[in-house]
Amino acid sequence: MITNFFRPLVFGLSVIVAGSLHSEPEDFPLPAETSSPRETLETFLQSTRKVDEYFQSPKHGDDQTQNLDWEIKRALDTLDLSEIPDFVKRQMSREAVLKLREILDRVNLPPMDSIPGTNDPSLPKIWRVPGTMIEIGRVESEGEETQYLFTSETVARLDDYYARVEPFPYQSGALPGFYERLRYVPGDPFLRRIVASLPDWTQRVWLNLKIWQWIGFVGSIAAGSFLLVFLICMARLSRRIDPSRHRIGLLVSSILPLAVLLVPFSLKWFANHGLALYGVLLEATNLILNVFLIATALFAVWGIGFRFVEVFAELASRSSRAMDRLLVRLFGRLATIFFAIVVLLEGGNSLGIPMTTLIAGAGVGGLALALGAQAAVKNLVGSMMILLDKPYKVGERILTRGFDGIVDDVGIRSTRIKLLNGNIATIPNEEMAQAEVENISRRPYIQKFFKFYLPLNSTEEELATTLRILRETLADHDGMVEDFPPRVVIGGFERDGIEVMGIVWHHPPGIIGFPDWMESTTRTLLREFKENKIRLIPPARWMESPQDSAKTNLPEA
């Protein structure tokens, strides 16, 4: 008893795995004959009869199973299924075959010889079964032979036709109970054998479904929901892997977003092929699962894109060009967004939404998004301009908008600068792309210009001594390059005194060595000037008298 109870549960959970291993049968050797209304009707009636004979047979071999799939495919090929959405086409088309056979079995069909055939000199565009609204029409496709199929209008109204003729008796040569007998049969041969081995109580019908279908439906939804939540949590946790230490591990974790994608895919296959659902329940289940399939596909694209971008950005940060990390992240994010949009458009198209409507909606949505997120778009454009111009990179000292510091990070939205006082300044890339940036780290040297004054009554000997002290002190100084020797000259007589000017270049342009050199050089010059009794005077400052606007050459008190 316990074994009989758990067998349906095992069936409901295990066939999810069987779905991923299932493959469609090979192309059948004899395609459906649809060259005329007569051949189309004969093909449909013969194929459905062979399907019914298979299920009436007590034993089913592998060869018979393959032949069954071929006959089902031949019957389906007599229908125009172009108006059925892709996400419900598989099961709804099979249900259409069952109902169409039931309708034809209750209709007094004319003799086959009276139906237009391939040998007739002219074939009508549409032939209607006498006494019904069922039509077989000509379908012309570019590059393919002309076919006669049960029209899409007929397929769309089969539910209504079946409800009307169901009370009528069967005609001679009919297949009584064909619809009720096969509506609960799984489409997959492996699952059909499992269902046949289930206990009798699971074959009872409750709310238009058999017990084994309800068990499989509820069990698969519960198991799929648990597995989906578990895989999403694991995928989100794997994003925390440090790419600098475990690059391969972060790439391997891309399997988790893909596994998330397989959950709704497997549930959808199970609902259509394993449980043989139909009607409103099938449409609702397929719609919900297709929405989840699109959502998980977006999750997979974004998760895989994030992992690859982080790994390649880490590799780029190890190169000599640190801006490559931002370049990889920027274009990696854009590529991920592009693929996500493609998935969204294809997913919407699979739900039956026309591609033109999706593209128009994406255009309007993109315009609304751009208007609502102008700052983000401007920062993104600013990031691209910074990448192209490369005015600075991480680790360089820059001076911009009153901020003086080291570039700590260049992101897609903003640039972070560590100021010399230790504070962090964050500036949007939109402003950084337009601002004037002085890159101090890229200067080839530090140029120092100095000027001071000697008294106007200084002697020639004092001038010569001043020049000698300056030139000897600056000669061969630390950080000097032969191509840039220091220069010291007498500028001439000025109102403030005799001007002495000089210029010196220091290499390398570091912010540590130069101040030390300036300190030692200044102390040396002060000591030499004092020992040689060289007097320096401060420059006079202009002061404006309150009573007179004329400028006077008086030092400020």
Q: How far apart are CA 250 and CA 25, in angstroms?
A: 38
CA distances from 251 to 61, 231, 242, 308, 334 (A): 45, 16, 11, 7, 19
One-character DSSP codes across 69-129: HHHHHHHHTTB--TTS-HHHHHHHHHHHHHHHHHHHHTS-PPPGGGS--TTSS---SEEE-
Is residue 328 scored above 70 in pLDDT? yes
Quick one: pLDDT band at residue 257, thresholds 50, 70, 90?
Answer: confident
pLDDT attached to residue 153: 92
Q: What SS3 class is residue 265?
A: helix
pLDDT attached to residue 137: 92
Between 280 and 455, the higher pLDDT residue:
455
Reference 292, options 230, 225, 349; nearest CA is 225
pLDDT attached to residue 18: 39
- What is the total residue count of the chain? 557
pLDDT attached to residue 222: 92
What is the pLDDT averaged over residues 428-441? 86
Q: Are 347 and 293 in contact (CB under 8 A)?
A: yes
Q: How far apart are CA 473 and CA 524, in angstroms?
A: 8
Quick one: pLDDT band at residue 104, thresholds 50, 70, 90?
Answer: very high
Query: In the beta sheet, which residues pair with residue 499?
Result: 453, 492
266: tokens are 């497997």
3-class secondary structure per residue, 224-241: HHHHHHHHHHHHHHHCCC
Is residue 163 scored above 60 in pLDDT? yes
Is residue 258 scored above 90 in pLDDT? no
Query: In the beta sheet, which residues pair with residue 492?
Result: 499
515: tokens are 């101040």
The sheet carrying 487-493 orders its strands as: 446-454, 498-506, 487-493
CATH 3.30.70.100 residue ranges for the chain: 443-531
What is the pLDDT averaged over residues 269-292? 77
Between 103 and 309, the higher pLDDT residue:
103
Q: How far apart are CA 435 and CA 438, in angstroms?
A: 10
449: tokens are 């210009």
Determine the topology of domain 443-531 in CATH: Alpha-Beta Plaits (3.30.70)
CA 464, 470, 473, 477 dihedral sign is negative
323: tokens are 């801006």
Q: How far apart are CA 238 and CA 228, in angstroms?
A: 15
Q: How far apart are CA 133 and CA 114, in angstroms?
A: 18
Residues whose CB falls within 8 Å of the CB of residue 327, separated by 6 or more in sequence, listed in order: 316, 387
Q: Are 75 and 42 in contact (CB under 8 A)?
A: no
Burial of 172 (0-12, 13-18, 19+ CB in 10 A): exposed
pLDDT attached to residue 150: 93
Pairing relationship of beta strands 135-139 and 147-150 according to DSSP bridges = antiparallel
pLDDT attached to residue 518: 85
Q: 188-232, pLDDT tens digit by residue?
A: 667 777 777 788 887 787 877 788 888 888 898 899 899 989 988
Percent above pLDDT 90 for the chain: 7
Tokens 């109102």 -> residue: 495
One-character DSSP codes across 33-83: --SSHHHHHHHHHHHHHHHHHHHHSS---HHHHHHHHHHHHHHHTTB--TT
Q: Are 121 and 184 in contact (CB under 8 A)?
A: no
CB hemisphere CA count around 471 (13 angstroms): 11
CATH 2.30.30.60 residue ranges for the chain: 392-441
Between 173 and 554, the higher pLDDT residue:
173
pLDDT attached to residue 252: 79
pLDDT attached to residue 457: 87
Between 278 and 133, the higher pLDDT residue:
133
pLDDT attached to residue 516: 82
Is residue 554 scored above 50 in pLDDT? no
Between 28 and 327, the higher pLDDT residue:
327
Phi, psi dihedrals of residue 124, rounded to the nearest 5°: -70, 160
The answer to which of 38-52, 292-306, 322-336 has the lowest mean pLDDT is 322-336
What is the pLDDT averaged over residues 512-520? 81
The answer to which of 332-336, 353-357, 474-478 has the lowest mean pLDDT is 353-357
Between 67 and 547, the higher pLDDT residue:
67
Q: How far apart are CA 92 and CA 85, in angstroms?
A: 9
pTM, 2 dp: 0.52
Alpha helices in 279-428 (DSSP H): 279-317, 323-350, 355-372, 374-389
Q: How far apart are CA 261 and CA 227, in angstroms?
A: 11
Reference 256, options 224, 223, 299, 221; nearest CA is 299
Strands (E), 413-539: 414-419, 424-428, 438-439, 446-454, 487-493, 498-506
Is residue 368 scored above 70 in pLDDT? no
What is the assigned CATH class of domain 392-441?
mainly beta
